Each structure stands twice: as structure tokens, then as C-alpha cells.
Amino acid sequence: MPQMLRPPSVGPIVGHTTDTRVRLWIRAADIPDLRTVGVAALYEWGRSEPREVRYFRLHREYDRTGTVDFEGLKPDTRYTARMGSVTVDSLDSELIVEDEEVFERLPKDLKVWKEDFLRLDPEVSEATFTTNPSAAQGGFSFLMGSCRYPGLMGQSKRSDEIFQAMYRHVELARSETALPPRFVLMMGDQIYADKLNRTLPMGRADTWREFQERYVEAFTTPYIRQLMRSVPTYMILDDHEIEDNWVQSRLKDALKRDLFHNAIRAYMSYQWVHGPRNFDKRIHYSFDYAQVPFFVLDGRTQRIRDDDDGSLRGNHLLGYPAKSSAPGFKGQLDQFCDWLVEMQAQRGNVPKFVVSAGVFAPNDVGSRGGNGGGSDSWPAFPETRRRVLRTIVDNGVQNVVFLSGDIHCSNVSELYFEKKRGGKLPLKAFSIVSSAFYWPFPFADGDPLGLVHDSKAEEDGFDVNGSVTMHYTTRGFEQDDNFTHVTYDMARNALVVQNYNRKGTALNGPNELKLAAR
């Protein structure tokens, strides 16, 4: 019988993973405009007989991408999956047909695909993953980074190089360390839809097909493909998935609105869909790793700038806040602040990790002292920043850890809160910045000397509520292309932060951040 199962054209990607389930993603093979069904087989580690085989749809409107969930898995257990696609060409491609009807045209005994799976090239069809433990015994670690410039004039191999180092780092750590990395956070600018900038048409994506091409180009280089099929990967967008320094007001322009719709359709097909998707179709989301909480902010698509008067009061980084006249409607800011309070009440002083593509701290020197109008990050949105910090201060939310990228300069900051009449509050918060995976122009931005290092000495304190000021100190600057390994060491009650260059060599550090007592 001829081979019917085709390997994926992109993927597999191991997405949202818990102690009992996993979400896996692929893009189908490049074929004519026919209905496409994904077929996935799950194997116990080292076994050749499938534990389970599933069909799932790969819809044309999402560029024939899709996900399949396997549930009822064992905690802290390693599995393998094989994935491919098959076309169904006996139906009118113009008709809307439910998934179940399409599946009816396929073999009921899914194990008939067993031999086809074994014929697929594992380099492009196989995913491996380990489910989460049910509790963080001793702690855990993860990798993070952002900003992968695609490279120009033959530099694509260089832009892919760091992912080989990340993969090797994970594999080596599995055999040599007690707390190997369990997942990867990619915190924005996974693609550059505008390779130069939004004002130059060369290399700029405008159409759906051009955005699709950017993702295929980015996600099929060999080393990132190897990494994403081997480690659960969580993603969030920043501006370059749409357009440089994107803000909501550009939607008033019809051409920009079309660009945004194409960009977000591509983003949701290639990045969002394999995440937790637990706020309906909102882009922000939350997840737990072994009862340690993460909240991933969408600081880009809901960003509102109305600072023509210079006051910055009309700027909102996470969308408009809730209004008392509509109590049933909560925006992202309210959901996030509620989450902070709830996690402190439920989990106590465990770290509460917050992924924000834009940097919470440090500020650039041009934005210090409240002069944030020229910033593309938190300093330009003081009301959003104040609401978050007041939530932390008023509710005693300990050990909030902001994880960010964007600025092409890695660093760590310790935040503290000081009463204006003297004395510090017993609150700790932190900021860890990791950037860039690949940025060939270090002379253009990312200069550590252009950032505030000590907010008190450099007059960059931030008023929280009239009586409390947030300050920070920053260290561990690194401008080379790098990724960051963050370890939550429960025995030492600390976060250990170590940067690695694109060859996998440790850079400076490590930097230890001592947490408030559990």
C-alpha cells in the first residue's frame, strides 16, 4: 500500500504541557487546496506500539495548522509523538463540513496508520516531551529569550545558531543537573514582519501570504525546529509580529487594519493556538508549572496611546481598565491584577512569574523621572504601571518576577518599595530581561549605559500611591546574542539567572535573586 501519511511542513511544536496532558501543533504538508486532517500517534518512551492515535483538523483558514491534545498522561513522564497529515479530496472543498463528518471518511481503526508513522522521517515528524511533575520538588528551571532577527543577505544560518545551543543545553542538563530546563519562553519578536522598519517597504509583510512566509521561514530553520519539537515552548507577540512600535490607533487607517488582521491571523495560527488559550480568544493567558503560576501579558494588541498633551494619563498598556457602570466586563489589566491577588492568597510567597514583552525595569535614561513619552515600554504607561504596583503594595503580593525581552540587552533588577517618610516595605519584586536571540546591530541599540542602573541615585523612582515609591537596582548587563536560564531553587529560596551566548558558553554571572521567605 502506498504511503498516505505526509510529514508536516512545519513542526511539530510541543505546546502547553501539564502533569496530565500535552498540546501538539503542526502545519500540514504543502498540497493543493483540499481538506486536510492531522493524524497523531502517542507512544510511551521507548515503545513502538502507539498508546493512542488521534485525528484532528488542519483548517485552510489557519494555513492548514492545528493542534491535538493528549490527556490522561502520567506526571513527570517522558513520551514520544509522531505526527503527519492526510488529505480528503472526495468532498466539495467549498462546503462547510464539521470535523466529525470529515473523520467519518477516514479509517475507524486508527492503528492502520502504524506503519505509515514508522516510515516518516523522525527529524520532521517526531516530538518528544516530559509531562510536568504534580509539585515542584526542589524547584525547577526554564529557558527564556526574545528577538530573533531573521538576518539579511544569507545570515539566516547565524540567526538559527543559538537554538542549537539551547537544545544542547537542555539535553546536557537532563543528564547532569538536578533541575534541568523544563520549558522555553519566547517573549516577542519571534518573527520580524518588517525586516527594516515600518517606513521602508523592502522586506515588509503586508499580505496574509507574506506573514505566512515569515513564519514558515522562521520556524523551519533546522535548530529552532529541533528545539521546539523537544521542549514545551510558550510564546507571546511583540511589535515585530505586526509592525514596528504597533499601537491600536493605527487601526483607524484601512490599510493598517488589513495589515493587523493578517498579522494576528498568522500569529494565532503559528504561536497562540498551541498555548493554553484560557482567556477565550484573548491573546494573554496564564499557566502553572508544578503549582508555580505564570501570567503572560499581551502588551501590544491592546496598547492605547493618547499622550498628545504630554500627560501620559490616556495611555493604557493592557487595554482600558474596567468601569463601574459595566461591572460584568473586565479587561486584561483587571484580570491580571485579580490574578496577582488570587495567587498570593492561594499560593503564598511562591514566585509569581509575569511575562511582559516590554520591559518593566530598568527604564532607559531618556525615560527616567517620569519622562516616558518617548518610550515603547512601561514608562510610557504610568497609569497601568501604577495600578499594577498598587495591587502589589496594597495586597502584599510577594515575589512578583517580571520576565521580558525587547531591548537587546539582558539584565536583572531587584525592585523595592520605600515609604516617603522613611523605611522599606517588606516586599520583594524582580525583573529579568533576556534579549536578543539574534541582533546583528549592537551599535544601534541595547547599550547598557543607556539604561538606569540605580533608580534612587539616578532620580528614577516611581510614585505608587502618594506615600510609597518603587525603586530598583540593576546589574548583570549582557549585550551579546544570548538566552537565559532561570532556576527556581527552593532549597535556597532564590532565583539563579545565567546567560549563555549563541555557542552555549556561560556569560558572566550567575546572578542570584533572593526571594522573600516562603
Q: What is the pLDDT of residue 1?
A: 36
Closest CA to 289 of 415, 139, 113: 139
pLDDT band at residue 95 under the 50/70/90 scheme = low
Shared-domain flag, residues 113 and 188? no
pLDDT band for position 434 (cuts 50, 70, 90): very high
Nearest to 37 by CA among 45, 46, 28: 28
What gap in Å lies between CA 149 and CA 158, rounded to an integer? 10
User: Are 471 and 396 found together in one domain?
Assistant: yes
User: For residue 159, what is the enclosing H or E element?
Assistant: helix 156-176
> For the residues 120-144, what does the mean pLDDT come to?
94
User: Where among 130, 153, 171 does a domain terminate?
Assistant: 130
The 3-state secondary structure of 381-450, one letter per residue: CHHHHHHHHHHHHHCCCCCEEEEECCCCCEEEEEEEEEECCCCECCCCEEEEECCCCECCCCCCCCCHHH
The reply to whether 205 falls in a domain is yes
Give the side-chain half-sphere CA count within 13 A for 509: 24
Is 3 a member of any domain? no
Is the per-residue pLDDT at 2 higher than 60? no
Q: How far apart are CA 9 and CA 23, in angstroms?
A: 18
Q: Write down the pLDDT at residue 178.
A: 81
**Which of 90, 110, 130 delimits the end of a domain?**
130
The CATH number that applies at residue 101 is 2.60.40.380
- Per-residue burial over 451-477, b if 16 or more Cβ lie within 10 Å, else e, is bbbebeeeebbbebeeebbbbbbbebb
One domain, residues 170 and 43: no
Given a cut of 70, is residue 129 above it in pLDDT? yes
By residue range, what is the domain housing residue 370? 139-514
Is 5 part of a structural domain of the chain? no
- Write down which residue in 98, 130, 162 finishes a domain: 130
| Count of domains for the chain | 2
| CB within 8 Å of 455: residues ≥ 6 apart | 361, 362, 363, 368, 461, 462, 470, 471, 472, 473
Q: Does the residue 4 lie in any domain?
A: no
Higher pLDDT, 445 or 95: 445
Percent of the chain with pLDDT over 70: 94
Name the grid cell of 65: 495548522
Pair (201, 158) in one structural domain: yes
* 398 and 343 together in one domain: yes
Q: How confident is the model at residue 115 (pLDDT cuts 50, 70, 90)?
A: confident
Q: Identify the helix (H) or strand (E) that includes residue 99.
A: helix 99-104
Cβ–Cβ < 8 Å for 205, 241: no
* Residue carrying the nine cell digits 539567572: 497
Question: Is 113 in the same domain as 253?
Answer: no
The answer to whether residues 128 and 171 touch, using CB atoms and an 8 Å cutoff, is no
- Give the whole-angstrom CA distance, residue 110 versus residue 106: 9
Question: Is residue 2 in some structural domain?
Answer: no
Give me the pLDDT at residue 93, please: 57
pLDDT, tens digit, 9 for 90 and up, residues 280-289: 889 999 999 9
Q: Which alpha helices (DSSP H) does 198-253 contain, by range? A: 208-219, 222-228
Please check whether residues 193 and 278 belong to one and the same domain: yes
- Whether 309 has a pLDDT exceeding 70, the answer reads no
SS3 299: coil
What does pTM read for this prediction? 0.95
Contact 206/254 with Cβ under 8 angstroms? no
Assign 202 to helix, strand or coil: coil
Take residue 496 and report the three cell numbers written for it: 539563579
Q: Is 375 found in the same domain as 392?
A: yes
3 state SS of 78 = strand
| Shared domain check, 114 and 152 | no
Q: What is the pLDDT of residues 23-37, one digit of tens each?
A: 999 999 877 667 789
What residues contact residue 205 under an 8 Å CB cut-off, 6+ apart? 193, 194, 211, 213, 214, 262, 263
Asked if the structure places residue 267 within a domain, the reply is yes
Residue 159 lies in a domain: yes
1 within some domain:
no
Q: Which of left, alpha, beta for 446 (phi over 0: left; psi -120 to 50: alpha)?
A: left
Residues 6+ apart with CB under 8 A from 39: 5, 53, 54, 55, 83, 84, 85, 86, 110, 113
**Segment 227-276, tens digit of pLDDT:** 999 999 999 999 999 999 999 999 999 999 999 999 999 999 999 999 99
How many residues are recorded in the chain?
A: 518
The candidate with the shortest Cα–Cα distance to 163, out of 143, 182, 177, is: 143
d(CA 78, CA 131) in angstroms, rounded, equals 7
Q: Integer distance in angstroms from the first to the last C-alpha of the chain?
A: 61
* 170 in the same domain as 107: no
Q: Are 439 and 481 in contact (CB under 8 A)?
A: yes
30 in the same domain as 154? no
Q: What is the pLDDT of residue 258?
A: 96
Q: Do 205 and 118 fall within a single domain?
A: no
pLDDT grade for 504, boundaries at 50, 70 and 90? very high
DSSP 8-state class, residue 85: E
